[in-house]
């Protein structure tokens, strides 16, 4: 098994866990348990990792970190909307 296979398998596991977290967040009516800083920090870190991956030219990391950045953006939007909607309901 080559190193890229290990990288792709690890990426799949990581993305599956992040997608699962987004599903759990989507089902939480007010998203009180989810910190906005979680997805914001993930966005910043992932953007940095995408830049680094591009600089070193590693395809596994470019694809993985771009996908992680996308999950962070989706998560951030969902949490912000849930918290805003919950605040309006009060």
Does the pLDDT value for residue 3 go beyond 70? yes
Q: What confidence tens digit (pLDDT) does each residue in 59-72 have?
A: 888 998 899 899 88
Burial class (CB in 10 A: 0-12, 13-18, 19+), 75: buried
Residue 36 makes CB contacts below 8 A (sequence gap 6+) with 76, 79, 80, 83
Domain covering 3-89 assigned CATH 1.20.1280.290 in the classification = yes
The reported pTM is 0.73
Average pLDDT over residues 52-61: 90
CA–CA dist 21, 9 (Å, integer): 19
Q: Look at residue 88 in the predicted model and tell me its pLDDT.
A: 73
């Amino acid at each position: 098994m080559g190193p890229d296979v290990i990288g792709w398998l690890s990426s799949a596991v990581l993305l599956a866990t992040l997608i699962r977290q987004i599903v759990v967040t989507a089902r939480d009516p007010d998203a009180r348990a989810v910190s906005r800083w979680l997805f914001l920090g993930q966005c910043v870190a992932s953007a940095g990792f995408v830049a680094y991956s591009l600089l070193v030219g590693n395809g596994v990391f470019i694809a993985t970190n771009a996908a992680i950045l996308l999950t962070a953006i989706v998560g951030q939007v969902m949490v912000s909307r849930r918290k805003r909607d919950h605040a309006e309901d009060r």
